[in-house]
C-alpha cells in the first residue's frame, strides 16, 4: 500500500547504533536489501511473460465465448464455476501487472522499464476488457434472483464478493460505455506516469549537490535548522518552476474524474472512493468532522508546546518535523531496524513475527537508496499464489524504522488475507490500514514500555504524537484540500495560484497559530502522490489510526483472546465490512464515540507531555 506523506518524525528508538561497514562476520550491520522479483518472473525478457499473456488472452476469449449474454440463465453451481474461472484469469492478469508495476517503481526513470510497464498495462487492459461483461451481467440480475443464488450452498463462498459488486449497481453504465471507459483508462494513467517520472527525475540544488526529491524531503527532518530551511527553499523553488505542469496534471485528472462522476451519478467527489472502501458517506463525514473539531485540542496544542521546546516565537513549515533539541536520532542499521520491529511483533503474536520474518529472509523487501527509485513506501500484495513485496527508502533514521513497521504490517495482513483467494483477499483501504498502523503501535509501545529514563520517554511520546498528528490531522487536511479542489474544478480550470491558496487555507487551519506559514509553502501540494494516484485515498490513514487507537485500547484493557480475534480479522480479507470486523471487539465506527475514543488517545499523550513540560 502506498505510504502516506507524513514527513514522519517518529520517536528515537533505543536500538544499537549502526556499525561501520565491514564484513558481516565481524559484526557489521547488513546493508538495506534489494528485492528479488523472481517469484513473479526472472526478468523483463522472461519468456514466461509472453506465454502468460498468450495463455491468459486465450482463456479470456474462451470465457467470453462460453458465458457472455448467458449469466441470467445460469443455475447456481454454473455461476459459481464461472466465478472461479473468472478468478483464475484475473489472478493471471494481476501477476503480470504486479510485476510490471514493481519493476517500474524500482526504476521509474529507466526508459526501457517505462516502455515495458506501458506494454504490459496495455496488454492487460486489452485482455481484461473481454471479461468486463461478466460483472456487468451479474449486476443486471434482479435482487430476487441474486437472493435465490446466494441461498444455494455452491455460491456461499462468493456471497460477500457479489454483495460488494452490487454496491456499484446504481452507478453502472451501458456495456458499451463501460468498455469505452475501461480501455480509455490506459491513456488516463499516462498523466499519472507523467507525474511519477517528473518527480523521479527532478534534482534539487542543495549546496554543491543536486539531490532527489526524496533526499531533500528527508532534510526537512534534519537536526540543523539551517539545513531544514535550505531544503525547504530549494524544494519551493523546484516545485515553483514546474507548478504549471503539476497544475495541468491536477486539473486534467480532476476534470476527468468529474465527467465520470456525473455520468455515474456519484453525489460527491469522494463518493466513489467511499463505495470502494465499503464505508458509508456519513461515516467518513463523521470522521472528518470529529478530527476537524479537534484541531485545537490536538495539533494546535502540540505545536504550541513544540515552539516552546525549540525556543521559537513561531514555527515555520520546515520546523514541523524538526527533532526535539535533546533528541539524538542516531543512525540505525538495517539489522537493528529488523530486530526492533520483529521483536515488537513477536511480543504480541509469535505467528505475526514468523510471517514477518519471511520478508527479510526471502528478499521480499527493497529498501536501498538509488536514483530513479520511487519515493515513499508501499507493500504490494501482488497475487495470493505468490506473496507481497515491500518497497521503501531506508535512510537509517527512526522514522524509517516506523515505516518498516508500517509496511510490514501491510505485508503480514496481505499474506494472511491471501488465504481467501484473489477476489476475496482485497481489503478496503479503510481496513487495509489497520494492520500497518497497529504494527507501528506495537513497535512504539514495546519500546516505550521498556524505557525508564523520563527524558527519553518524553522524546518518544513527542515523536509518537507527531506521527499520529501526521497520520490523522495532516491526512484529513489533505482530504479537505482534495475536496475543495475537486469541487471548485467543476466550475472551471483552477490557476496554480488558486490551488496554492486552497492549500494554505487548509494548512493554516490544521496546523494552528503556532505557525507563521510563508506564502512560498503554497506549492507543497504539488508532490503529494496520493492526489494523483488515488484521489480521496488519504482519509483511510486517519480512519485506520483512530480505529487502531480504539483497538489497542481494547487490547490494553485485557480483552480475552484479543490476538486470535485480531488475526481472524486480518484473515477475513475483503469478506467482511467494518461493522462485522469490529463487532467482536465491541466497537462500532458509525458511533461518534468511536472516533472520540481514538482521538482521546492522541489527546492523552499531549496531556502527559504538557504535564512534563
**Whose CA is closest to 95, among 37, 139, 135?**
37
Phi and psi of 442, rounded to 5°? -60, -45
Residue pair 28/20 in contact by the 8 Å Cβ criterion:
yes
Q: pLDDT value at position 36?
A: 97
Query: Which pLDDT belongs to residue 329?
Result: 65
First to last CA, the chain: 37
In the three-class reduction of DSSP (H, G, I as helix; E, B as strand; rest coil), residue 251 is classed as helix
Give 27's pLDDT tier (boundaries 50, 70, 90): very low
Q: What is the pTM for the complete model shown?
A: 0.80
Query: Quick one: three-class SS letters along 24-44?
Result: HHHCCCCCCCCCCHHHCCCCC
CA distance 219 to 224: 9
Compute the residue count for the chain: 613
Gap between the Cα atoms of 522 and 520, Å rounded = 5
Task: Calculate what percentage of the chain has a pLDDT beyond 70.
Answer: 95
Mean pLDDT calculated for residue range 279-305: 94
Q: In angstroms, rounded to a whole number, what is the distance separating the alpha carbons of residues 194 and 249?
A: 8
Strand partners for 379: 390
398 — pLDDT class (breaks 50, 70, 90): confident
> For position 18, what pLDDT does the model report?
34
Cβ neighbours for 55, distance < 8 A, ≥ 6 positions apart: 92
Is the distance from CB of 406 to CB of 365 less than 8 angstroms?
no
Cβ proximity of 527 and 320 under 8 Å: no
In this model, does residue 14 exceed pLDDT 90? no
Predicted confidence (pLDDT) per residue in 57-90, tens digit: 999 999 999 999 999 999 999 999 999 999 999 9
pLDDT tops 70 at residue 135: yes
Is the CB of residue 122 less than 8 Å from the CB of residue 385? no
Grid coordinates representing 100 are 510490471
Q: How would you label 27-66 residue by residue, b for 16+ Cβ within 10 Å and e otherwise?
A: eebeebbebebebbbeebeeeebeebbeebbebbeebbee
What is d(CA 145, CA 157) in angstroms, rounded to the nearest whole number? 17
Cα–Cα distance measured from residue 406 to residue 5, given in angstroms and rounded to the nearest whole number: 13
Please, what is the average pLDDT of the chain?
Answer: 91
Mean pLDDT of the 277-289 span:
89
pLDDT in tens, 30-46: 899 999 999 999 999 99
Query: Helices 429-449 and 334-348, interaxial angle, to 10°?
Result: 100
Q: Check pLDDT > 90 for residue 23.
A: no
Residue with more model confidence, 332 or 409: 409
Tell me the three state secondary structure of residue 204.
Answer: strand
Handedness of CA 272, 278, 282, 287 (dihedral sign): negative
Query: Between these two residues, 252 and 559, which has the higher pLDDT value?
Result: 252
pLDDT at 256 over 90: yes
Closest CA to 467 of 440, 442, 506, 445: 440
From the list 374, 325, 277, 309, the residue with the least C-alpha distance to 514 is 309
Alpha helices for 68-131 (secondary structure H)? 76-106, 111-129
pLDDT class of 25 with cuts at 50, 70, 90: very low
| Residue 10 pLDDT level (bands cut at 50, 70, 90) | very low
Q: Are 465 and 609 in contact (CB under 8 A)?
A: yes
Confidence at 19, pLDDT banded by 50, 70, 90: very low
Residue with cell 514527513: 7
Count the Cβ atoms, other than its own, within 10 Å of residue 434. Answer: 26
Using alpha carbons, select from 499, 478, 490 the residue that is nearest to residue 257.
490
The tally of CA atoms less than 13 A away on the side-chain side of residue 383 is: 21
Residue 587 phi/psi, 5-degree rounding, is -115, 150
Please state the rounded mean pLDDT for residues 310-338: 90
Which of 408, 405, 416 is CA-nearest to residue 379? 408
Contact 211, 203 (CB under 8 A): yes
Domains detected in the chain: 37-189 (1.20.140.70)
Cβ 54 vs Cβ 378: under 8 Å:
no
- All three cell numbers of 460, joined, read 518518544
Beta 389-391 vs 209-211: how paired, if at all?
Answer: unpaired
Maximum Cα interatomic distance, the chain, rounded to a whole number of Å:
74
Cell numbers placing 355: 510471517
* Cell numbers describing residue 151: 441461498
Question: Rounded to an integer, what distance in angstroms lies between the CA atom of residue 403 and that of residue 376?
Answer: 9
Selected residue with higher pLDDT from 531 and 454: 531
pLDDT surpasses 80 at 347: yes
User: Which three cell numbers, joined as nine digits, stand for 295?
Assistant: 484541531
CA angle 474, 478, 479 (to 5 degrees): 120
pLDDT of residue 531: 95
pLDDT reading at 457 higher than 60: yes
CA dist., res. 501 & res. 495, Å (int):
10
pLDDT confidence band for 485 (50 / 70 / 90): very high
pLDDT band with cut points at 50, 70 and 90 for residue 6? very low
C-alpha distances in Å from residue 161, one per residue of 386, 482, 515: 21, 30, 47
Res 17: pLDDT: 35
pLDDT at res. 185: 86
Instruction: For residue 423, name the pLDDT band (cuts at 50, 70, 90).
Output: very high
Amino acid at each position: 500500500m502506498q505510504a502516506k506523506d507524513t514527513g514522519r518524525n517518529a520517536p528515537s528508538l533505543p536500538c544499537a547504533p549502526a556499525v561501520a561497514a565491514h564484513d558481516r562476520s565481524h559484526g557489521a550491520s547488513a546493508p538495506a536489501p534489494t528485492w528479488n522479483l523472481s517469484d513473479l518472473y526472472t526478468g523483463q525478457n522472461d519468456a514466461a511473460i509472453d506465454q502468460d499473456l498468450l495463455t491468459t488472452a486465450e482463456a479470456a476469449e474462451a470465457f467470453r465465448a462460453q458465458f457472455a449474454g448467458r449469466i441470467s440463465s445460469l443455475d447456481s453451481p454454473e455461476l459459481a464455476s464461472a466465478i472461479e474461472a473468472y478468478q483464475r484469469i484475473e489472478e493471471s492478469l494481476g501477476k503480470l501487472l504486479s510485476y510490471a508495476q514493481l519493476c517500474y517503481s524500482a526504476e521509474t526513470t529507466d526508459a526501457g522499464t517505462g516502455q515495458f510497464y506501458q506494454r504490459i498495462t496495455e496488454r492487460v487492459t486489452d485482455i481484461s476488457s473481454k471479461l468486463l461483461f461478466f460483472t456487468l451481467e451479474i449486476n443486471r440480475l434482479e435482487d430476487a434472483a441474486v437472493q435465490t443464488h446466494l441461498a444455494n450452498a455452491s455460491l456461499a463462498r462468493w456471497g460477500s464478493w457479489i454483495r460488494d459488486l452490487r454496491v456499484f449497481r446504481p452507478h453502472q453504465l451501458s456495456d458499451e460505455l463501460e468498455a469505452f471507459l475501461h480501455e480509455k483508462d490506459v491513456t488516463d494513467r499516462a498523466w499519472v506516469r507523467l507525474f511519477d517520472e517528473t518527480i523521479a527525475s527532478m534534482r534539487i540544488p542543495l549546496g554543491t549537490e543536486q539531490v532527489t526529491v526524496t533526499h531533500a524531503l528527508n532534510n526537512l527532518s534534519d537536526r540543523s535548522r539551517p539545513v531544514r530551511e535550505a531544503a525547504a527553499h530549494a524544494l519551493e523553488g523546484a516545485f515553483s518552476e514546474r507548478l504549471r505542469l503539476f497544475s495541468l496534471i491536477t486539473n486534467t485528472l480532476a476534470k476527468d474524474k468529474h465527467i465520470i462522476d456525473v455520468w455515474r451519478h456519484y453525489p460527491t467527489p469522494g463518493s466513489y472512493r467511499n463505495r470502494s472502501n465499503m464505508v458509508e458517506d456519513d461515516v467518513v463525514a463523521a470522521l472528518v468532522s470529529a478530527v476537524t473539531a479537534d484541531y485545537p485540542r490536538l495539533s494546535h496544542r502540540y505545536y504550541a508546546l513544540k515552539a516552546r521546546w525549540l525556543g521559537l516565537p513561531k514555527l515555520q513549515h520546515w520546523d514541523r518535523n524538526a527533532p526535539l533539541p535533546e533528541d539524538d536520532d542516531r543512525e540505525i542499521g538495517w539489522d537493528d531496524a529488523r530486530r526492533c520491529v520483529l521483536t515488537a511483533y513477536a511480543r504480541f503474536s509469535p505467528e505475526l513475527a514468523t510471517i514477518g520474518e519471511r520478508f527479510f529472509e526471502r528478499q521480499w523487501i527493497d529498501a536501498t537508496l538509488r536514483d530513479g527509485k520511487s519515493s515513499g513506501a508501499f507493500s504490494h500484495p501482488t497475487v495470493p499464489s505468490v506473496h507481497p513485496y515491500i518497497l521503501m527508502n531506508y535512510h537509517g533514521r527512526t522514522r524509517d524504522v516506523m515505516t518498516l513497521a508500517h509496511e510490514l504490517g501491510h505485508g503480514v495482513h496481505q499474506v494472511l488475507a491471501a488465504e481467501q483467494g484473489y477476489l476475496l483477499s482485497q481489503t478496503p483501504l479503510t481496513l487495509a490500514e489497520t494492520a500497518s498502523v497497529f504494527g507501528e503501535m506495537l513497535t512504539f509501545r514495546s519500546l516505550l514500555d521498556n524505557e525508564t529514563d523520563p527524558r527519553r520517554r518524553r522524546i518518544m511520546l513527542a515523536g509518537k504524537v507527531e506521527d499520529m498528528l501526521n497520520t490523522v490531522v495532516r491526512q484529513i487536511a489533505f482530504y479537505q484540500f482534495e475536496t475543495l479542489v475537486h469541487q471548485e474544478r467543476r466550475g472551471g480550470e483552477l490557476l496554480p495560484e488558486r490551488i496554492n491558496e486552497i492549500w494554505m487555507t487548509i494548512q493554516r487551519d490544521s496546523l494552528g497559530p503556532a505557525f507563521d506559514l510563508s506564502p512560498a509553502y503554497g506549492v507543497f501540494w504539488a508532490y503529494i502522490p496520493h492526489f494523483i494516484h488515488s484521489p480521496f485515498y488519504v482519509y483511510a490513514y486517519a480512519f485506520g489510526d483512530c480505529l487502531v487507537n480504539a483497538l489497542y485500547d481494547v487490547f490494553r484493557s485485557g480483552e480475552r483472546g484479543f490476538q486470535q480475534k485480531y488475526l481472524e480479522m486480518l484473515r477475513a480479507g475483503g469478506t467482511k465490512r467494518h461493522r462485522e470486523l469490529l463487532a467482536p471487539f465491541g466497537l462500532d465506527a458509525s458511533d461518534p464515540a468511536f472516533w472520540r475514543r481514538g482521538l482521546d488517545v492522541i489527546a492523552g499523550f499531549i496531556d502527559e507531555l504538557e504535564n512534563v513540560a
